[in-house]
Chain A
Amino acid sequence: MLDPQSSFAEAISGRCTLGTINGIVLEKVCEYLYYNLKHKDAKDVPDMEIPPELCLELLMAADYLHV
């Protein structure tokens, strides 16, 4: 949605509002994205720590965000 080719509002303003996702969860998602990028080509990567109480919410967010 930030793809400059698709001229959505987000692409123009460079700002996405994800109103449906809780801040803690979103932080975890960001952490995951960073983790993913960091270990892109690496092997034997240590597991990422996921607090169990966030599991389900994270699952839903992941489904929504397709990450």
Chain B
Amino acid sequence: MMLAGRGRNKIRPPRRGLGTNDNVDFDSMWAELASSLQDIHNKNASQLSFEALYRNAYKLVLKKRGDVLYERVKEFEEEWLANEVQPQILEVLSPSLLLASTGGSTITTANEKRAAGEKLLRALKQAWEDHNLCMNMTTDVLMYMDRVYCKDFRKPSIFTASMGQFRDYVLRTPLQPGPDHQISIAQVLNAVILDQVRMDREGDIIDKSLLKSCVYMLEGLYETEQEEEHLKLYLTSFEPEFLRASEEFYRHEGSTLLLDADAGTFCKHAKKRVSEEEDRCRSTLSPLTLGKIKLVVETELIKNHLREVIALEGSGVKYMIDNDRTSELEMMYDLSARVDPKKEDLKKAIQARIVEQGNDVNNATVAATQAPPRPSAPNRDRADGEEKAPEKPVNLQTTAAINWVDAVLRLKDKYDIFFTQAFQSDQGLQTAFTRSFTDFINAFERSSEYLSLFFDENMKKGIKGKTENEVDELLDKGIILLRYIQDKDMFERYYKKHLSRRLLMKRAISMDAERQMISKMKMEVGNTFTQRIEAMFKDMTVSDDLTSQYKRHVAQLGDPDPKRAEMEINVLTSTMWPLDAMAPYSEGENRPRCIFPSQIERIKQGFEKFYLDKHSGRQLTWQANMGTADIRAYFPEMKGAKKTRELNVSTYAMVILLLFNDLLPGHSITCEEIQAQTNIPFNELTRNLQSLAVANKTRILVKEPMSKDVKLTDKFYFNEQFYSQFQRVKIGVITAGNKVEDSTERSETEKKNNDTRGGVIEAAVVRIMKQRKELTHQKLIAEVIQQLTARFLPDVNMVKKRIESLIEREYLERIEEKEPPAYRYLA
């Protein structure tokens, strides 16, 4: 429009200057073009003017002779390739190569073969590069034809067409026409490349760039003229053969390697092979093959052999674990991860090993508890001399228990290291680890007791002189084990028992640590678990208050009794504290009550009155077996200036000793008399007498006859020669500490625990049924188990029994006609 608006200027008609007016003589022009093409192919193009050639082609196309030109060029190329290039290639094709590619026997040495192969490769590469160059030039010259003619008639460009010709005339020509010798250069080429790759794999040095250019050629050629990506010659003819050959190679290598290498070497080798193949794809072959060849190596070398490698005697996973071969394990993990995202085999092997080692620990512990006392615990290479140090002749079983926990923790540490260093913190493996640990820890029936003992020991002694962080770490470790224990209620029972001893006997070193422990347990297991333990602590503080209140109360009374003893009271809520465990004689009503000496009895009554005034309706039961007393004793014949010593003894011992107050010096009292006067249960009595009269350092009493056992007829004297360098002497009661239970105690505990569990199960059943009203048997059981697994693993039979009993007591009823069996809640 603009042009028209401007338009005084006439649009000049185009000059017919582009030679369109002269008659085009096709033949002469073609002859000229053909000779030029010849020159191009002979690399003699410097005399040719591009413009002239281009103009010629341009003219021919303008004159609608494009089709003829196209055909002629094709013919020309065909002739050139068939007559010039092909013979050159055939020339370098030595018979040995032919034989090799047909699979015949190769007599020639590797070197010859290699030389011949390289020659062929080089010739092919040369031919290909020449052809490429020429065709680029030709295409340039015939650009106009490509642009106009080929596009209009939907012909492949001349370049593509000539590439196809190269494929057909150079690579695909059968070498020896005949029915059974249908090999072409392409096949020979494949064989040669494969041969070279094999040599590379075997460690020979090959000309990688040469190979690369030949592969590049294959990549540049297509099956069809449409040049579809997936029809590259490389993909259609070479790659399958390559993969097949590799498969064979690695299958062979895998089986030989398995025979003469150990697992570590195998892993190293496999890893090396994989990275080698990756390199090869990048530097020598095509990146297209990368994934496929990796798959081949993985299946042939790793997947098919992995299980055997893992199980390999003397060097497999077991060996690696035992010898801390973290790096090898890491490789193993890496390989497994390649072929199997779940790493089943590796997982199984490790699990088996964990359980095996765990059972070893268990068995060793059992052996240690049954074996006669030995100077040190058997087969433990314990690094920390902490418990080994003979600070106290710890009960053998208790040592075994602590050793057990230590051993398990060591095992856990070891696997944790593997887990983070070798297994890249793999989630799946972690669950497997956890499962295995749970398995073997729960297979050991005393695990909860032992763990609690471990805490007990540490609370009493182990954390002495440790920093807060160390304590924290120690507790965390214990908590980890707790996580594995299924019967958490058992643990709770034991822990409570041990804790109560610690609290009442003031054996706990650090209340902070105790609290820390409880808060950790709370986080791990939940509120309900620690409720009672917390209540125990609360009782302790309340008792402290109570004691000071009582003291004030006494002071107000203004009873100036110089002989009056100070008293500290712990009032314990009976439901929260494991009193039954502490006082094994409380069963039945006729539990013997200790007769306190009069001055103590007075205080006792005073407090009872005070307490019941404060809280009416409560009942106080005195647990004399749990208490301790400080008494000041006067030893007339003791060496040294001061003849008094403070004795810290148990309540019973105090009661016994007070008896001697009333005795004239030199007089004796028999055991039987003591029992009659104090009403202390016999075995408590013997224990206390033992600690007072038998133990060397704390011999306050002299026994007659001198023997270890205490009999009813034994006589006791006050030991006036008693001497101790310390002002304060602590007289522990023999075997009153926390120790492993013997089997009767244990079955007792188990029975009690089962009773508790019964209650818990019933409560759970009722809770569930109240909510659901009606539920099938299977579902009910499943829900109960699900609710209770946090505390313990309920036994299905027990659940069934509890349901039965609930039905009897008419909490539930069976729904008669229902199938499958179901229950209904009766409100």
Give the B-binding residues of A (Cβ under 8 A).
Answer: 1, 3, 5-12, 16-22, 51-57, 59-60, 64, 66
B46 CB contact (under 8 Å) in A3, A12, A17: A12
A22–B16 Cα gap in the complex (Å)? 11
Assess the B15–A57 pair: CB atoms within 8 A: yes
Taking the nearest CB of chain B, how far is it from the CB of A7, in angstroms? Answer: 5
A9 B49 Cβ-Cβ under 8 A: yes
Q: Which 6 pairs across A and B sit closest by C-beta, in order of nearness?
A: A1-B50, A8-B50, A52-B3, A53-B12, A56-B14, A6-B137
A64 touches B17 (CB 8 A): no
Q: Is B7 close to A, CB under 8 A?
A: yes
A9–B47 touching, CB < 8 Å: yes
Asked if B13 is at the interface of the complex by the 8 Å CB criterion, the answer is yes
Quick one: given A7-B45, A20-B18, A66-B143, are A56 and B50 in contact (CB under 8 Å)?
no
> Cβ of B11 and Cβ of A55 under 8 Å apart?
yes
Could you tell me if B9 and A51 are in contact, using CB atoms closer than 8 angstroms? Answer: yes
Nearest B residue (CB) for A60: B14
Query: Given known contacts A7-B45, A55-B11, A66-B143, what 9 new A-B pairs fall within 8 Å (CB)?
Result: A8-B46, A9-B45, A9-B46, A9-B49, A22-B15, A55-B3, A59-B14, A64-B58, A66-B147
Query: CB-CB < 8 A to A1: which residues of B?
Result: 50-51, 54, 140
Chain A minimum-CB-distance residue to B16: A60
The chain B residues found within 8 Å of chain A, CB to CB, are 3, 6-7, 9-15, 17-19, 43, 45-51, 54-55, 58, 133, 136-137, 140, 143-144, 147
Measured in the bound complex, the distance between the Cα atoms of B12 and A17 in whole Å is 24
Q: Tell me the bound Cα distance from A66 to B18 in angstroms.
A: 15
CB of A56 within 8 A of CB of B12, answer yes
Alpha-carbon separation in the docked complex, A10 to B137 (Å) = 13
Whether the pair A53, B9 counts as a contact (CB closer than 8 A) is yes
**Which of B43, B49, B133 meets A10, CB within 8 Å?**
B49
Question: If the complex has contacts A6-B50, A22-B17, are A54 and B133 also in contact, measured as CB distance less than 8 A?
Answer: no
Contact A9 B144 (CB under 8 A): no
A/B interface sample: 17 pairs, CB < 8 A = A1-B51, A6-B133, A7-B45, A9-B45, A9-B49, A10-B51, A16-B51, A18-B51, A22-B17, A52-B7, A52-B11, A53-B10, A56-B11, A56-B12, A57-B15, A59-B14, A66-B143
- Would you give the shortest CB distance from B57 to chain A, in whole angstroms? 11
CB within 8 Å for A5 and B133 given contacts A10-B50, A16-B51, A66-B143: yes
Separation of A5 and B54 alpha carbons in the complex (Å)? 17
A1 to chain B, nearest CB (A): 3
Do the beta carbons of B136 and A60 come within 8 Å of each other? no
Q: A7-B43, A12-B46 are in contact. Are A17 and B51 (CB under 8 A)?
A: yes
CB neighbours (8 Å) of B6 from chain A are: 52
CB of A22, distance to nearest CB on chain B (Å)? 6
Q: Is the CB of A66 within 8 A of B144?
A: yes
Give the residues in chain A near B58, CB-CB below 8 Å.
Answer: 64
Query: What B residues does A66 contact at CB under 8 A?
Result: 143-144, 147
Q: Which of A51, A52, A59, A66 has the most CB of B within 10 A?
A: A52
Shortest Cβ distance from residue B51 to the other chain A in the assembled complex, whole angstroms: 6
Using Cβ atoms and an 8 Å threshold, which residues of chain A touch B143? 66
- Report B-chain residues with C-beta under 8 Å of the C-beta of A60: 14, 18
Query: Given A53-B12, A66-B147, do A8 and B17 touch, yes or no (CB 8 Å)?
Result: no
Shortest CB distance B498–A (Å) = 81
Give the residues in chain A near B137, CB-CB below 8 Å: 6, 8
- Flag if A20 contacts B55 (CB, 8 Å): yes
Which of B14, B43, B55 has the most chain A CB within a 10 Å cutoff? B14
Chain B residue numbers with a CB within 8 Å of A10 are 49-51
**CB neighbours of B47 from chain A (8 A):** 9
Q: Which residues of A sit under 8 angstroms from B48, Cβ to Cβ?
A: 8-9
CA separation between A6 and B10, bound complex, in Å?
A: 42
A-side contacts of B45, CB under 8 Å:
6-9
